[in-house]
């Protein structure tokens, strides 16, 4: 956010949302700046942003933990993480009681994988045991944060965003089939934990073998899941992978598409859904990609799945996003609705066109699926 | 720089008016460049080489620089709109223009005659100064000329048919 100069242009950035006709904004307050030490908060920046959002009637979906933690909290292996994030979530909910939409922890699977299995973020480990610990810690944090927010705001709505993933085996080799099957179950693990969905005996054994106690697992499974929970399913062109003959995953591009992958998530959890992130690295192809995603969404909606939103990531171009912010190189990734000078891109205009086209259509300007959740 | 340009995209934004913004910026940036040419004595020598009166040389230069400014804005697209880096891109463009104009075209147009000494330095510096001023002022001129989002016509390739690549059935 610093590299995109959001801290400097935050007010103008919010105005860009209004100019596009957006009603809701997925917004991640900077956790590392707001919570610089245990139980110490600096709300100076967030106060300004929240007040402005309230003023201009832009409803925030507050993303409390997005891939990183403040230095004092170290990383996702830290057993103190759930407690610390819960205190932050409670403090946030108390300070901004008018906020109703929350994403306690964004993309838990990706966060655990990149931090503990791929060695890129935070703890930078490459270890199955570390992955299991991170996934459990993140799920515990998400659950405890949810409960803390509900204690302050009992009608809060939770958008649990997760990256949609799918692995296709390349061939009938039993080992390749096993890897694909395992990865296709592992992708669900954090959501399984927060939604109390049972896992296969194989996954249970895997978790046991990698340090997760049965009592801890059973404790999460026994939990009552909040009624107002929405599954956010993010989708990028690299989310579908082929497990190649060497056992390695290679990006397939858009093979089955968001409709098929998102359906798998819906079939598993049977909860309202939202397309919570997508974009295209090639700016000139953004409009095509956006419409194709939209048509996927329409198809899923037509099958009766309650869908509440469609998000483009992100408002502005990103910096070093292509390399997952693994290094601070300074490369601009033209994925935004606006460039870093805040000039609109073609995809931004397309998104506005989409909004204008549907705003007055029945079932879009006001969303029946969302109204049903809000009325629960 | 090519990486920077490709990252931003070669196409100007749909709300931009690059030719107009560039022409206005190029015209404005010519003022300090002419002053420098005058101070270093380059203006009179250029007029003599081109066979024009000084006033005519200034007017011709102003027109040429307006066109060059428009070309700069179109060529650099979104990168030219950067208020922090614009001056640097502009100076690079001014340098390229000096290489093309001062070194290549002027000797041809002047039948082999060239400014020398301080006058030659003046030609070089004035073009680099012009480029820096052009790049510095363009991001702000460009913003004044932005079209409103509601006024932008949605091209066919941005509408819902954009999803269809239009692959013909054999």
Q: How confident is the model at residue B3 (pLDDT cuts 50, 70, 90)?
A: low
Contacts of A75 (CB under 8 A, 6+ apart): A69, A115, A122, A123
Confidence at residue B157, expressed as pLDDT on a 0 to 100 scale: 66
DSSP β-bridge partners for residue A233:
A162, A275
The DSSP letter of residue A283 is G
Share of chain A above pLDDT 90, in %: 91
Confidence at residue A59, expressed as pLDDT on a 0 to 100 scale: 97
Confidence at residue B165, expressed as pLDDT on a 0 to 100 scale: 74
Q: How confident is the model at residue B111 (pLDDT cuts 50, 70, 90)?
A: confident
Q: How confident is the model at residue B24 (pLDDT cuts 50, 70, 90)?
A: very high
Q: How far apart are CA B138 and CA B18, in angstroms?
A: 9
Confidence at residue A52, expressed as pLDDT on a 0 to 100 scale: 98
- Round to the nearest angstrom and report the end-to-end CA distance of chain B: 42
Q: Tell how many helices (H) and how many strands (E) occur in chain A.
A: 14, 12
Which of B1, B2, B6, B8 to mutate to probe the A interface, most A CBs <10 Å? B8
> How far A18 CA sits from the closest chain B CA (Å)?
11
Confidence at residue A308, expressed as pLDDT on a 0 to 100 scale: 96
Span B130-154, mean pLDDT?
89
Does A8 contact B at CB distance below 8 Å? Answer: no
Residues of A in contact with B83 (CB under 8 A): 341
Confidence at residue A47, expressed as pLDDT on a 0 to 100 scale: 98
The DSSP letter of residue A60 is E
Residues of chain A with pLDDT under 50: none
What token pair was written down for B10?
A: 């070669």
* Residue A1, in any domain of the structure: no
* Residue A227, in any domain of the structure: yes
Residue A362 phi, psi dihedral angles, 5° rounding: -60, 135
Residue A77 is part of a domain; what is its CATH number? Answer: 3.20.20.80
Confidence at residue B113, expressed as pLDDT on a 0 to 100 scale: 81
Q: Structural domain tally of chain A? A: 1
Strand bridging mode A240-243 / A24-27: unpaired
Q: Among the listed ranges A349-353, B11-15, B45-49, which one has the minimum average pLDDT value?
A: B11-15
Mean pLDDT of chain B: 88
Q: How confident is the model at residue B9 (pLDDT cuts 50, 70, 90)?
A: low
Residue range(s) defining the domain that contains residue A282: 6-375
Q: pTM for the complete prediction?
A: 0.91
Instruction: Identify the residue with better confidence: B169 or B93.
Output: B93
Which A residues 288-317 touch B at CB under 8 Å?
A: 288, 290-292, 294-295, 317
* Residue A128, in any domain of the structure: yes
Q: How far apart are CA A149 and CA A64, in angstroms?
A: 11
Three-class DSSP category at A248: coil
Instruction: Identify the residue with better confidence: A169 or B158.
Output: A169
Which of B10, B78, B150, B157 to mutate to probe the A interface, most A CBs <10 Å? B78
Confidence at residue B1, expressed as pLDDT on a 0 to 100 scale: 66
Residues of B in contact with A292 (CB under 8 A): 163
Confidence at residue A57, expressed as pLDDT on a 0 to 100 scale: 97
**Do A58 and A24 meet the contact criterion of CB atoms below 8 Å apart?**
yes
Residues of A in contact with B159 (CB under 8 A): 350, 353
What token pair was written down for B71?
A: 């070309």
Does A357 contact B at CB distance below 8 Å? Answer: yes
Q: What is the dihedral of CA A269, A274, A280, A284, to 10 degrees?
A: 150
Complex ipTM over 0.85: no
- Residue A321 class from Cβ within 10 Å (0-12 exposed, 13-18 middle, 19+ buried)? buried
Q: How far apart are CA B104 and CA B135, in angstroms?
A: 23
Cis before residue A314, ω within 30 degrees of 0? Answer: yes
**Residue B102 pLDDT more than 90?**
no
């Amino acid at each position: 956010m610093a590299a995109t100069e959001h801290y400097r242009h935050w007010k103008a950035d919010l105005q860009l949302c209004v100019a596009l006709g957006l009603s809701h904004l997925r917004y991640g307050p900077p956790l590392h700046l707001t919570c610089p030490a245990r139980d110490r908060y600096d709300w100076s920046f967030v106060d300004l942003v929240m007040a402005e959002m309230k003023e201009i009637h832009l409803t925030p979906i507050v993303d409390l933990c997005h891939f990183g933690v403040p230095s004092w909290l170290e990383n996702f292996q830290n057993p103190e993480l759930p407690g610390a994030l819960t205190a932050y979530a409670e403090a946030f909910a108390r300070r901004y009681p008018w906020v109703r939409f929350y994403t306690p922890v964004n993309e838990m699977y990706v966060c655990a994988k990149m931090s503990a299995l791929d060695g890129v973020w935070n703890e930078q480990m490459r270890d199955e045991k570390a992955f299991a610990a991170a996934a459990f810690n993140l799920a515990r944090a998400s659950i405890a944060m949810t409960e803390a927010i509900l204690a302050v705001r009992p009608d809060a709505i939770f958008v649990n965003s997760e990256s949609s993933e799918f692995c296709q085996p390349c061939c009938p080799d039993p080992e390749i089939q096993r890897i694909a099957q395992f990865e296709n179950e592992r992708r669900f693990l954090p959501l399984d934990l927060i939604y109390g969905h049972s896992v296969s005996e194989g996954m249970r054994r895997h978790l046991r073998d990698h340090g997760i106690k049965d009592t801890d697992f059973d404790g999460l499974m026994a939990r009552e899941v909040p009624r107002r929970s929405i599954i956010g399913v993010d989708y990028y062109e690299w989310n579908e992978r082929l497990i190649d003959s060497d056992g390695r995953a290679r990006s397939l591009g858009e093979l089955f598409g968001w409709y098929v992958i998102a359906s798998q998530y819906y079939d598993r959890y049977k909860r309202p859904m939202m397309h919570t992130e997508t974009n295209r690295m090639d700016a000139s192809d953004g409009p095509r990609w956006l419409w194709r995603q939209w048509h996927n969404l329409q198809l899923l909606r037509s099958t009766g799945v309650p869908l509440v939103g469609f998000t483009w990531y992100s408002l502005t171009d990103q910096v070093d996003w292509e390399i997952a912010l693994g290094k601070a190189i300074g490369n601009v990734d033209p994925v935004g609705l606006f460039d870093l000078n805040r000039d609109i891109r073609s995809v931004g205009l397309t998104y506005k066109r989409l909004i204008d086209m549907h705003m007055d259509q029945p079932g879009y300007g006001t969303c029946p699926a969302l109204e049903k959740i809000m009325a629960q | 720089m090519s990486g920077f340009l490709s990252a931003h995209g070669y196409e100007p934004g749909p709300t931009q008016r690059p030719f107009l913004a560039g022409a206005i910026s190029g015209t404005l940036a010519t003022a300090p460049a002419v002053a420098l040419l005058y101070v270093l004595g380059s203006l009179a020598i250029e007029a003599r080489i081109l066979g024009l009166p000084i006033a005519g040389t200034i007017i011709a230069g102003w027109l040429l620089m307006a066109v060059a400014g428009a070309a700069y804005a179109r060529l650099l697209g979104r990168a030219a709109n950067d208020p922090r880096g614009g001056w640097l891109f502009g100076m690079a463009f001014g340098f390229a223009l000096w290489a093309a104009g001062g070194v290549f075209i002027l000797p041809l147009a002047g039948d082999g005659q060239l400014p020398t000494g301080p006058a030659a330095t003046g030609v070089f510096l004035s073009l680099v100064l012009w480029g820096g001023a052009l790049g510095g002022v363009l991001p702000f001129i460009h913003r004044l000329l932005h079209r409103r989002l509601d006024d932008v016509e949605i091209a066919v390739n941005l509408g819902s048919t954009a999803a269809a690549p239009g692959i013909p059935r054999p």
